[in-house]
Amino acid sequence: MTIPQERIRNFCIIAHIDHGKSTFADRLLEYTHAVDERKIKEQTLDTMDIERERGITIKSVSVRMEYSADDGQLYMLNLIDTPGHVDFSYEVSRSMAACEGALLLVDAAQGVEAQTLANAYKALEQNLEIIPVINKVDLPAADVPSVRSQIEDVIGLPADDALLVSAKTGLGTRETLERVIKLIPPPSGKLQAPLRALIFDAVYNVYRGVVVYLRVVDGSIGPGQKIVFMATGARYEVSEVGSLHPDMVPREGLFAGEVGYLICNIKTLKDTRIGDTVTSAEKPAEQALHGYEEVKPVVFSGMYPAVATDYDELRDALEKLQLNDSSFQYHADSSDALGLGFRLGFLGLLHMEIVQERLEREFGLTLVTTMPNVAYVITKTNGDVITIDKASQMPAAGEISLIEEPYIEADILCPTQYLSTVIELCKRKRGVHVRVDYIGSNRCMAVYQMPLAEIVMDFYDKLKSGTRGYGSLEYRIIGNQPGDLVKLDILLNNEPVDALSTIVHQDSAVRLGRALAQKLRKLIPRQQYEVAIQAAINRKIIVRETISPLRKNVTAKCYGGDITRKRKLLEKQREGKKRMKQIGTVEVPQEAFMALLRVKEDDND
């Protein structure tokens, strides 16, 4: 049975991480019987094991529900559950483009947080109808009046009639569905117009190829229809369309205003562009829909197999993983110390952790990961402009005219008593104060501009520990700014180790070099010969640590006798160690490559 367009509602749930989006989505699915009761489990829409274990949503998921409202009519509700972590904010933007409204979920105990604010502004930019929902009202620490005033003062939405719900008990579920029907407008597309459908996501299925998730804006689409992807010009024949419940259910067609999936024998995700417009090949639309900005990685890291022979397995694993997560990029790379591997680009540090964990868990690989860093733009003295994402690519100091690093503007929400801690942390991270806004009587938002390189290391952990877990962070890239940056090299017996090199600020280079050399002295095992650990800036040695050699007591058998006999044996030993040093190589253990990360964390304490 086809439900008319005026009885369709497309909406998403947006909130800060851990405010109960996925649990509340479970209650909506239960109430509308969209999922069989036997299949309902906690976080039903979180399909990956890693999502369930960490209690976070990584991929947006769409599901269709049918609901008999109080007015006696049957409505089609298309719900999209979105991630809450700042690294996956691109997923939220894409989901919003397929909706007319959003449920803004706010924790009754924690109140408005950084991602609450960021997601609300994204929804306002896309002209969505926002319905404030206060969740976890059954908690003893719930403070509904305070949260209402925060929604009004900080976000600017009227919250007098905000819905009071409990995702845990199901309180307020029916009232929420009725409010969605009453306030969120139906889709405005034209059924008779040429087909235009927006691709908002795509996943790879081993048996079916690429499954495209789309929102039909105008016209209709069905099996056997010839279609064109307007951005790439690729042509396909539709083999199946349907709706998500959240499992795929085939249908005869999708019509204007509906959200569903499309299968048309697409071989890889590279052939699909998120934000592209699907139209009919026979009667194409004149103008494509407004798409999305291309997602660009901001954090880069090298990943190398712990066993050199696993290189091919790592390459195959990355190819398979990218079929389901096209937001990370990779290319082959090599290191003198670590051998063959890959250089990967991520959206943030959590994204990097997720990819690494999936590679190790789903493909059984053991990986060595180098320190994460950001992309720097370098203007050379001859006028050339290059972009580098690791220290070994940095030209010699004499060839560099200007180095620029990416800057972010961070919104940090915290209780007022922790503001001084946040300000001190931002100062240590080279932050520039913009303003402080006070939210009610006991919360505030500090706005700082600072280098992205300082954020990707350990800023989030330091913020959480410094504010007893109450601080939250949202940031956006604001462009590149010049920086007084230098390359810090680590040399072992006068040989630079490229995997331990890093780009640091001039003011902290000596301190970091000394700390790293001391850390490496403890980590690198003693050899049969002396090992010199040196830190250098622009080939100038600034720090040296020495690992003394293992020594056999060659004079043990000399009982008494002439001292010249002992001297002769010691001299012979010294000559042997000198020859060893010339031909020997220092084996650097894997934990030494993570020492740089720990050194930077310790340095900031």
Question: What's the rounded mean pLDDT across residues 267-273?
Answer: 75
Q: Which helix (H) or strand (E) holds 120?
A: helix 114-125
pLDDT for 237 beyond 70 = yes
pLDDT band (50, 70, 90) for residue 475: confident
Number of domains in the chain: 5
The pLDDT, as a whole number, for residue 178 is 92
Residues 471 and 495 in one domain: no
Report the 10 Å Cβ neighbour count for 554. Answer: 14
pLDDT at 52 over 50: no
Q: Do both 166 and 29 map to the same domain?
A: yes
Q: Is residue 294 included in any domain, yes or no?
A: no
Same domain, 495 and 595: yes
pLDDT band at 45 (very low <50, low <70, confident <90, very high): very low
Would you call the peptide bond into 185 cis, given omega within 30 degrees of 0 as the criterion? no
- Tell whether 41 and 131 lie within a shared domain: yes
d(CA 590, CA 595): 9
* CATH number, domain with residue 40: 3.40.50.300
pLDDT at 292: 65
pLDDT at residue 583 is higher than 70: no
In this structure, is residue 189 part of a structural domain?
Answer: no
Q: Confirm if 439 and 472 have CB atoms less than 8 A apart.
A: no
Range of the domain at 413: 377-482
pLDDT digits (tens, 9 = 90+) for 324-336: 666 788 888 887 7
293 in any annotated domain:
no
Quote the pLDDT of residue 85.
Answer: 59
Whether pLDDT at 450 is above 60: yes
What is the DSSP pairing of strand 259-263 with strand 209-218?
antiparallel
Residue 221 has pLDDT above 50, yes or no: yes
46 pLDDT band, cuts 50/70/90, is very low
Q: Is 416 domain-assigned?
A: yes
On the question of pLDDT at 192 being above 50, the answer is: yes
Whether the per-residue pLDDT at 559 is higher than 70: the answer is no
pLDDT, residue 566, reads 72
| pLDDT for 59 | 55
Higher-confidence residue of 576 and 271: namely 271
pLDDT: is 54 or 185 the higher one? Answer: 185
55 pLDDT more than 80: no
Of the two residues 86 and 530, the one the predictor is more confident about is: 530
Residue 289 lies in a domain: no
Q: What is the pLDDT of residue 89?
A: 66
pLDDT 10s digits, 394-448: 888 888 888 898 898 988 888 888 899 999 999 888 889 999 988 777 888 899 9
What pLDDT is recorded for position 179? 92
> Within 10 A of 484 (CB to CB), how many other CB atoms are there?
9
Which pLDDT belongs to residue 133? 92
DSSP state of 307: S
pLDDT in tens, 21-35: 878 888 888 888 877
Q: Is 50's pLDDT higher than 60?
A: no
* 270 and 203 co-located in one domain: yes
286 domain-assigned: no
Q: Which residues, including other chains, have CB under 8 Å from residue 284's CB and lie 6 or more apart?
A: 194, 228, 230
Q: Does residue 163 share a domain with residue 24?
A: yes
Q: What is the pLDDT of residues 174-185, one digit of tens each?
A: 999 999 999 999
- Burial of 306 by CB count in 10 Å (0-12 exposed, 13-18 middle, 19+ buried)? exposed
Q: For position 461, what pLDDT does the model report?
A: 76
Per the listing, tokens 């007022």 go with 416
Q: Which residues pair with 279 in a beta bridge?
A: 228
The answer to whether 314 and 305 have CB atoms below 8 angstroms apart is yes
Share of the chain above pLDDT 90, in %: 6
Both 253 and 315 in a single domain? no
In a domain, 285, yes or no: no
CATH number at residue 229: 2.40.30.10
End-to-end CA distance of the chain: 63
Extract the tokens encoding 20: 């109960």
Residue that is last in its domain, among 435, 459, 482: 482
135 plus 9 within the same structural domain: yes
515 and 569 both lie in a single domain: yes
Indicate whether this model's pTM tops 0.75.
no
Residue 376 pLDDT exceeds 80: yes
The strand pairing partners of 419, in sequence order, are none
Q: For 547, phi and psi rounded to 5 degrees?
A: -100, 115
Taking residue 504's Cβ as centre, other Cβ atoms within 10 Å add up to 20
Computed over every residue of the chain, the mean pLDDT equals 80
The C-alpha atoms of residue 54 and residue 48 are separated, in whole angstroms, by 10
102 and 133 in contact (C-beta within 8 Å)? no
pLDDT number for residue 578:
62
Shared domain for 387 and 309, answered yes or no, is no
Instruction: Read off the pLDDT of each residue in 562-574 and give the average, rounded to a whole number.
Output: 72
Tally helices (H) and strands (E) across the chain: 14, 31
Average of pLDDT values for 466-487?
A: 84
Element (H, E) at 353: helix 349-363
pLDDT value of residue 131: 92
Tokens of 74: 């049957």
- Of 280, 314, 343, the residue at which a domain comes to its end is 280
φ, ψ at 365 (rounded to 5°): -100, 150
Between 161 and 350, residue with greater pLDDT: 161
Same domain, 503 and 477: no
Residue that terminates a domain, selected from 137, 159, 183: 183
User: Do 15 and 68 fall into the same domain?
Assistant: yes
Which SS3 state, helix, strand or coil, does residue 99 take? Answer: coil
Q: Which residue type sits at 397?
A: A
Pairing of strands 220-221, 254-255: antiparallel
Could you tell me which of 246, 237, 230, 329 has the C-alpha nearest to residue 278? 230
CA distance linking residue 166 with residue 174, whole number of Å? 12
Question: Residue 417 falls within a domain, yes or no?
Answer: yes
Q: Is 4 a residue whose pLDDT tops 50?
A: yes
Q: Which amino acid is it at 240? A: E
Confidence (pLDDT) at 582: 46
Band (86; pLDDT cuts 50, 70, 90): low
Q: Is the pLDDT of residue 580 over 60?
A: no
CATH of the domain at 434: 3.30.70.240
